[in-house]
Chains A and B, each alone.
Chain A
Amino acid sequence: MQDILVYIALGLAIGFLVKKYFFKSTKDDNCGPGCGSCKN
């Protein structure tokens, strides 16, 4: 059961990172990906 949870978490994490860096964001143009200090 714990292994399944780990794989789900891993899938979500990879999905988030791929979406963040490989797909163009539809959010405010004032901010780019990976920026910690501006409003994402």
Chain B
Amino acid sequence: MTNDNVVKVALIGNPNTGKTSLFNQLTGLKQKVGNYPGITVEKKQGFCKLNESVKAEITDLPGTYSINPTSLDETLVLDTLLNEEGDAFPDVIVVVVDIENIKRNLLLFTQLKDLKIPTILVINMIDQMNRKGIHINVQKLEKQLNTKIVLASARKKIGIGDLKEAILDYKNIDITPVGDISIKIDKEYFSKLKEAFPEFPLYKSWLLITQKKEFDFITEDEKKLVLKFRENLECIKRYQHKETIFRYQIINDVLKDTFNVDKSKATDLRGVLDRVLTHKIFGYVIFALILLFIFQGIFNWATYPMDLIDTAFANLSSWTKSVMPPGTFTNLIAEGVIPGIGGVIIFIPQIAILFTFISILEETGYMSRVVFLMDKIMRKFGMSGKSVIPLISGTACAIPAIMASRNIGSWKERLITILVVPFTTCSARLPVYAILIALIIPDKRIFGFLNLQGLTMMAMYLLGFTAAISSSILLHNVLKIKSKSLFVIEMPNYKLPSIKNILYEVVEKTKAFIFGAGKIILALSIVLWFLASNGSSSFKNAEEIVTNKVENSELHPQELQKKIASYKLENSYIGYMGKTIEPVIKPMGYDWKIGIALISSFAAREVFVGALATIYNVDSDGENTGTIKERMAAEINPDTGEKRFNFPTGMSLLIFYAFAMQCVGTLAIVKRETNSWKWPMLQLFGMGILAYVSAVIVFNIFS
């Protein structure tokens, strides 16, 4: 203090903590606004009368999240606090924190405390305490943080007098740091630092080293020493990471005993919403209703654009045949490539709708409540609340979902999550379910508003979750791995979703689906078309053989063409392959054509529809291509004379796809995450056997 009658105060805090409101309350109209020397950052100073003879000169420093600056105005905070000879060097620091974000805000406080300047902690916005259900043990917190704490509300003018008293009494504030960072980071390194700069507080020396700038207020010898310590940049970066982790550990430990949020006592809108949305009964009911709404939406709103796309591709196929010169390449484009690609594009509306809903739930903050809600249930099944994130992410794709399980601390819980995530209905299953449901479930409404197809889709998603949860119970009891974990989740504030963010998310996910799956489907369509359009001598002489066979019966020329096309397909390379596996898949109610689609979709499930579209197109008489749905609906089982995709076969296929591990990518990622082939093989065979047995049972029940 340059003058005993003036106390220099630096007001510091994270942005949006109410620091400027507090500054205005303290200084009133006694403010002066200028610029910091040489730069255009605004410098706000003001005076405040502490008692009859002493006043405070308060500098409102720019808001910053940590003392390590990332911008010009944040650099000012550091310069002001490190330069003891500077005009603005404070006698006392007042750190302002927001009661709702105290954990994040305390990081800056612990850094400032290490500079050994008297520091007062102002916990602002305490008028929100009761509404938010927050309780603070101030005395205990003061003891643990070695500081003076003032509870205030700048907007409601609460605590201003207490703060003035605390500033007046600043000489009695304990300047001991909250924790000793040197022990946790590298004791030897910090001992050398202490020896090099004996005059400085240890943390000040550390800050001189870690900043990339030159400080004018240190001597030339000190500058040389700083450069010497800065030589190993990698090491410094690592130590900085360690420092942040250590500080948050301290903050967590301190707040565990002193800061408590009881949501059941909260009376603000967020509190009320949290109570309802995470309620042990209403929480689940609301979640189920939201899911119901989403799946109704998928079927109700996506139908029209899907029909449009399907018809457009059928027309494109016919048009291509009519304008291109006849030949094998034209056939490849019209019968192989276009139907195959159409089989991917058609699902854009459904996928876009699904991701729009998921993005809205994430954006509004509701998804975190679902995670919290599910934690209690998940624990019973051997997983953690954190497992909900991979399980929900799994509705997009199992691969990123499995990687999202990395934040589960317990190995056993993580392994179980990895093993059961592929049961979740991923977006690759959506096209398969959509087409099968449209074929076997009537487009009827229950109670006048619930679409039966939408309900079936929801049931398939629930079946996936049920399979995941049931398997986790089994694995929890079978796996003999001992581990413990703690579930902590920070609930974000509710907010209106940003349309820009949602659009970005939906476009990115849909694009990834189309370009990721599209390339594989295009390549497989070409291969499948080739295998279906070529064969041995029977294939080549199909026309002659069929004509000889039916020469005595009076067949319409179009029917004859159909018989030839069928005979060709049966005797094509793909026909031979399909017939070979037919005995294995027949108990599930499938013929060899479905078998081929089943094998093709082992690489990626969504290939199923494209593969069937290609096979049935080759099988057609060449005149009437039709939409994918029409071709599948028209397929007849020659043994029974019934539709191939009837209720028993359709249900059997739905069940098979719900349980089978048909994704090479997922197997590869499980191998990488578990570092063993044992677990992906367990998934492949375990899920495969379950899918096969279930499909056989379902087919026989409904037959």
Q: Flag if A36 contacts B329 (CB, 8 Å).
A: no
Q: Which of A6, A30, A33, A38 contacts B664 (CB 8 A)?
A: A33
Query: Given A6-B329, A13-B527, A40-B516, does the pair A35, B399 have CB atoms closer than 8 Å?
Result: yes
In the complex, which residues of chain A have a beta carbon less than 8 angstroms from the beta carbon of B530? 6, 10
Q: Flag if A17 contacts B427 (CB, 8 Å).
A: no
Nearest CB in chain B to that of A15: its residue: B523
Query: Given A6-B328, A36-B397, A36-B428, does the pair A31, B665 have CB atoms closer than 8 Å?
Result: yes
Q: Flag if A16 contacts B603 (CB, 8 Å).
A: no
Query: Given A21-B664, A32-B668, does the pair A38, B526 have CB atoms closer than 8 Å?
Result: no
Task: Give the residues from 4 to 32 in chain A that come closer than 8 angstroms, CB to CB, to chain B.
Answer: 5-6, 9-10, 12-14, 16-17, 20-21, 29-32
Q: Flag if B524 contacts A38 (CB, 8 Å).
A: no
- What is the CA–CA distance of A40 and B519 in the complex, to the nearest angstrom? 10
Q: Which of A3, A9, A34, A38 contacts B400 (CB 8 A)?
A: A38
Does chain A have a CB within 8 A of B138?
no
- What is the CA–CA distance of A33 and B509 in the complex, to the nearest angstrom? 16
Give the shortest distance, in Å, between B683 (CB) and chain A (any CB): 14
- What is the CA–CA distance of A9 and B336 in the complex, to the nearest angstrom? 11
In the complex, which residues of chain A have a beta carbon less than 8 angstroms from the beta carbon of B526? 9-10, 12-13
Give the shortest distance, in Å, between A27 (CB) and chain B (any CB): 11
Q: Which of B328, B523, B663, B666 contacts A16 (CB 8 A)?
A: B523
Q: Flag if B332 contacts A40 (CB, 8 Å).
A: no
Q: Flag if B330 contacts A17 (CB, 8 Å).
A: no
Q: Flag if B329 contacts A35 (CB, 8 Å).
A: no
Does chain A have a CB within 8 A of B656?
no
In the complex, which residues of chain B have a beta carbon less than 8 angstroms from the beta carbon of A35? 397-399, 428, 516, 604, 663, 665-666
- What is the CA–CA distance of A3 and B396 in the complex, to the nearest angstrom? 40
Q: Flag if B604 contacts A3 (CB, 8 Å).
A: no
Nearest CB in chain A to that of B344: its residue: A36
Query: Given A36-B428, A37-B397, A37-B427, does the pair A17, B527 have CB atoms closer than 8 Å?
Result: yes
Q: Flag if B399 contacts A10 (CB, 8 Å).
A: no
- What is the CA–CA distance of A17 and B607 in the complex, to the nearest angstrom? 13
Q: Which of B325, B606, B666 contacts A32 (CB 8 A)?
A: B666
Does chain A have a CB within 8 A of B522?
yes
Q: What number of B residues sit within 8 Å (CB to CB) of A?
A: 41
Query: Given A33-B665, A36-B397, A38-B512, does the pair A5, B329 have CB atoms closer than 8 Å?
Result: yes
Q: Flag if A40 contacts B330 (CB, 8 Å).
A: no
Q: Mark B45-59, 1 if CB is under 8 A from A, else 0.
A: 000000000000000
In the complex, which residues of chain B have a beta carbon less than 8 angstroms from the beta carbon of A2? 325, 327-330
Interface centre among A9, A21, A38, A40 (most CB of B within 10 A): A38
Does chain A have a CB within 8 A of B577?
no
Does chain A have a CB within 8 A of B520?
yes
In the complex, which residues of chain A have a beta carbon less than 8 angstroms from the beta carbon of B692? none
- What is the CA–CA distance of A17 and B327 in the complex, to the nearest angstrom? 25
- What is the CA–CA distance of A2 and B327 in the complex, to the nearest angstrom? 6
Query: Given A2-B329, A35-B516, A36-B397, does the pair A13, B604 have CB atoms closer than 8 Å?
Result: no
- What is the CA–CA distance of A12 and B523 in the complex, to the nearest angstrom? 8
In the complex, which residues of chain B have a beta carbon less than 8 angstroms from the beta carbon of A5? 329, 332
Q: Flag if B664 contacts A34 (CB, 8 Å).
A: yes
In the complex, which residues of chain A have a beta carbon less than 8 angstroms from the beta carbon of B520? 17, 20, 34, 36
Q: Flag if B403 contacts A13 (CB, 8 Å).
A: no
Does chain A have a CB within 8 A of B513?
yes
Does chain A have a CB within 8 A of B517?
yes
Does chain A have a CB within 8 A of B669?
yes
- What is the CA–CA distance of A3 and B534 in the complex, to the nearest angstrom? 12
Q: Flag if A17 contacts B524 (CB, 8 Å).
A: yes
Give the shortest distance, in Å, between A5 (CB) and chain B (any CB): 4
In the complex, which residues of chain A have a beta carbon less than 8 angstroms from the beta carbon of B513? 36-37
Nearest CB in chain A to that of B603: its residue: A34
- What is the CA–CA distance of A2 and B332 in the complex, to the nearest angstrom? 10
In the complex, which residues of chain A have a beta carbon less than 8 angstroms from the beta carbon of B215? none
- What is the CA–CA distance of A21 and B604 in the complex, to the nearest angstrom? 11
Does chain A have a CB within 8 A of B468?
no
Q: List the interface of chain A (C-beta within 8 A of B).
A: 1-3, 5-6, 9-10, 12-14, 16-17, 20-21, 29-40
Q: List the interface of chain B (C-beta within 8 A of A).
A: 325, 327-330, 332, 396-400, 403, 426-428, 508-509, 512-513, 515-517, 519-520, 522-524, 526-527, 530, 603-606, 663-666, 668-669, 672
Across chains A and B, which 5 residue pairs bring their CB atoms closest together, nearest first?
Answer: A36-B517, A32-B665, A2-B327, A37-B397, A2-B329
**Other A-B pairs, 17, CB within 8 Å; known A2-B328, A38-B396:** A9-B526, A13-B526, A17-B523, A30-B399, A30-B403, A31-B400, A32-B668, A32-B669, A33-B668, A34-B663, A34-B665, A35-B665, A36-B428, A36-B513, A37-B427, A38-B397, A40-B512
Q: List 9 A-B contacts (CB under 8 A).
A: A2-B330, A5-B332, A13-B522, A32-B664, A35-B397, A36-B517, A37-B427, A38-B516, A40-B512
